[in-house]
Amino acid sequence: MEKVTGKCRHKLEDGEILTKDENEQSDQISKLCNAIIHHILSFLPVRDAAKTSILSKRWRKLFHSMPILDFDQKTGGALMTHPNRALVDFMSASIFFREHAPINLLRISLDYSSSFYFPIRQWIHISMKFNVLEMYLDFSGGDSFLQYRTLYVSDKLQAYYCADDNQVRWDYDSNTDESDSAEESDSESDESSSSDSDDESQNSRFIILPALFNSGSLRVLKLAKCNIPDADSMALGNLICLVLRDVDISEKMLHQMLSSCCMLENLELRLIPELKKLEFSAPKLLSMTLECCHSLKKVSIDAQGLQYFKFGLSNTTKDLSLQVPSLVKAEIGLCHNINCNVRHRADRLVNLLKDLSHVKDLSLYSKFLNDMSIPKSQMKNFTMPTVRRFKIIGKMRNDTISAMFGLVKAFDNLESLHLFIVHPSESDDVHLEEKQLRKLKSTSISCLESRLKELKVEGFEGTDIEIKLIKFLVDYCKVLAKVDIETYTPSFLTHGEIKANLLNQWSSKDLEVNYN
């Protein structure tokens, strides 16, 4: 038997002997500096990162000095009998016994219970003591916020763009139901507050500490499904990103917050039932999202540097004023309501688009595409000459094609058209007649004939109406160079008959066709 003097040895599966020196050479991670190891650990669920603390005293200190604390109910306690309680206990231990090191980010995602009120208060207090830079508090137990590592990229504007079209296109499908549920939730919150106003811990929603709004170190604050009380003072001068989703906040408090954020670059307000009037000025604002605020009546925004704007145009919104001369991209959602007057809806849409007439990238989404129809009388003096890319999302009806082409006439220099089709059910009996296509062919739409170079169809299923529409566009658009077809039906990728049929129609054209 081989002897190894003064050195530990480890038996390997093949019978070889590994000395301590060789073992140390194989452990390259421990030789890295603390900052790099912290970065590696940040990609692990916090419970997995905690397991590394048993390796050595150094690894224990590394875990208790991690600058990123990401506690997620789904990844932190999914295998436990009582995941929330276990997650709370683990978080308390992780925060209370940490080293005296700064906290860059605190993210908490769990289903809130009143029994967690005081522990969460302590976590927030301790994080503020360590000058936390980013704080994400989501008490819905869901995935309200993207992971922190997607927030900052070299191009700030690109980082804020929303690509979740699957969620976007349904935001206004059931406005009435959503409004009713919001009102019911709000009334329940009021009843709970009035029945036990002296005991904040018994509130159905977590009540944010007013002291949080005096944390000068905060640069990013994201809150979901919580109660934001009025505060006497406010000091958020370093905040560059503010996201509020499904929160109970007074109009006065919201305006107070916005006025104190002089460095704000990214703002998102979503599902705020009490908001009826929004008026503010933000010279440094780059990106803004305002959606699902169904009580909103007046909007006045002065943001000279705003480049991206996403807005849900509610039926209640009557007064709209936007001073956004630097806007590049806009996404507009239309609320579908059968009781809404078609002309009034068209008036609001035209007035909004006039404020956005200088954008280059425009997206419109609604439950039904014909909600975007604008009468000919209003289209006479309406034009958006700077629009280069146009995306339209919604469900098809018999009059959809006419409505869509009527709107496209306003885009004199359109180069890219993106259709995101939500398919009608069989009971809708939607069809596209040849007579309707012949009528469209006789109509001169200069941007389609001589400008459009790229066509993208998403959600393609190979139905008759889709094939007719694509064939019509390919024949009509004389300078079209590229067609992208994306499908959610895997069988279509092997559906040779449809694919061959389309390719045969375009064989004589110098056209690039991509199927995904």
Mean pLDDT of the chain: 73
Q: Could you write out the DSSP letters of every residue in 402-450?
A: HHHHHHHTT-TT--EEEEEEEPPPGGG-----HHHHHHHHTS--HHHHH
The whole-number average pLDDT for the span 368-380 is 71
* Residue 81, number of CB atoms within 10 A of its CB: 7
The answer to whether residue 163 scores a pLDDT higher than 80 is: no
* Contact call for residues 318 and 347 (beta carbons, < 8 A): no
pLDDT above 90 as % of the chain: 25
* Residue 353, number of CB atoms within 10 A of its CB: 21
More confident residue, 260 or 63: 260
Q: Which of 107, 127, 92 is nearest to 42 (CA)?
A: 107
The answer to whether residue 309 scores a pLDDT higher than 80 is: yes
Q: How far apart are CA 156 and CA 475, in angstroms?
A: 39
Q: How far apart are CA 91 and CA 119, in angstroms?
A: 9
Q: How far apart are CA 37 and CA 97, in angstroms?
A: 19
- Max mean pLDDT among 135-139, 339-343, 348-352, 474-478 falls in 135-139
The whole-number average pLDDT for the span 381-398 is 84
* Contact call for residues 124 and 222 (beta carbons, < 8 A): no
Q: Could you write out the DSSP letters of every residue in 204-216?
A: SSPBPPGGGGG-T
The answer to whether residue 321 scores a pLDDT higher than 60 is: yes
Could you give the 3-state DSSP secondary structure of residue 76? Answer: helix
The whole-number average pLDDT for the span 80-89 is 54
* Contact call for residues 448 and 422 (beta carbons, < 8 A): no
Return the half-sphere exposure (C-beta side, CA atoms, 13 A cut-off) of residue 442: 6
The answer to whether residue 79 scores a pLDDT higher than 50 is: no
* Contact call for residues 277 and 297 (beta carbons, < 8 A): yes
More confident residue, 13 or 361: 361
Could you give the 3-state DSSP secondary structure of residue 515? Answer: strand
The answer to whether residue 70 scores a pLDDT higher than 80 is: no
The answer to whether residue 7 scores a pLDDT higher than 70 is: no
Determine the pLDDT at residue 336.
57
Q: How far apart are CA 365 and CA 173, in angstroms?
A: 10
Pick the CATH number of 341-516 from 3.40.640, 3.80.10, 1.10.10, 1.20.1440: 3.80.10
Q: Give the confidence band of 402 by pLDDT, cuts at 50, 70, 90.
A: confident
Could you give the 3-state DSSP secondary structure of residue 127? Answer: helix
Among 91-100, 178-187, 242-251, 432-441, the minimum mean pLDDT is found in 178-187
Q: Which of 207, 185, 331 is nearest to 271 (CA)?
A: 185
Determine the pLDDT at residue 27.
62
More confident residue, 214 or 164: 214
The two structure tokens encoding residue 503: 């390719």
The answer to whether residue 467 scores a pLDDT higher than 70 is: yes
Helix-helix angle 434-441:464-476, to 10 degrees? 20
The answer to whether residue 444 scores a pLDDT higher than 80 is: no
pLDDT above 70 as % of the chain: 59
Among 100-109, 153-162, 388-397, the minimum mean pLDDT is found in 153-162
More confident residue, 68 or 14: 68
The whole-number average pLDDT for the span 91-102 is 68
| Distance, C-alpha 46 to centroid of its chain | 24
Please, what sign has the CA dihedral across residues 353, 355, 360, 364?
negative
Determine the pLDDT at residue 183.
41
* Contact call for residues 71 and 107 (beta carbons, < 8 A): yes
Determine the pLDDT at residue 507.
56
Determine the pLDDT at residue 458.
85
Among 110-119, 188-197, 399-408, the minimum mean pLDDT is found in 188-197
Q: Structural domain boundaries of the chain?
A: 67-325, 341-516
Could you give the 3-state DSSP secondary structure of residue 308? Answer: strand
* Contact call for residues 465 and 471 (beta carbons, < 8 A): no
Q: Could you write out the DSSP letters of every residue in 259-311?
A: HH-TT--EEEEE--TT--EEEEE-TT--EEEEE--TT--EEEEE-TT--EEEE
Amino acid letter at 511? L
Pairing of the two strands 248-249 and 227-228: parallel
Q: Give the confidence band of 86 by pLDDT, cuts at 50, 70, 90.
A: low
Determine the pLDDT at residue 359.
95
Determine the pLDDT at residue 307.
96
Could you give the 3-state DSSP secondary structure of residue 223? Answer: strand
Q: Give the confidence band of 280 by pLDDT, cuts at 50, 70, 90.
A: very high
Among 44-53, 69-78, 173-182, 314-323, the minimum mean pLDDT is found in 173-182
Q: Which of 381, 278, 366 is nearest to 322 (CA)?
A: 278
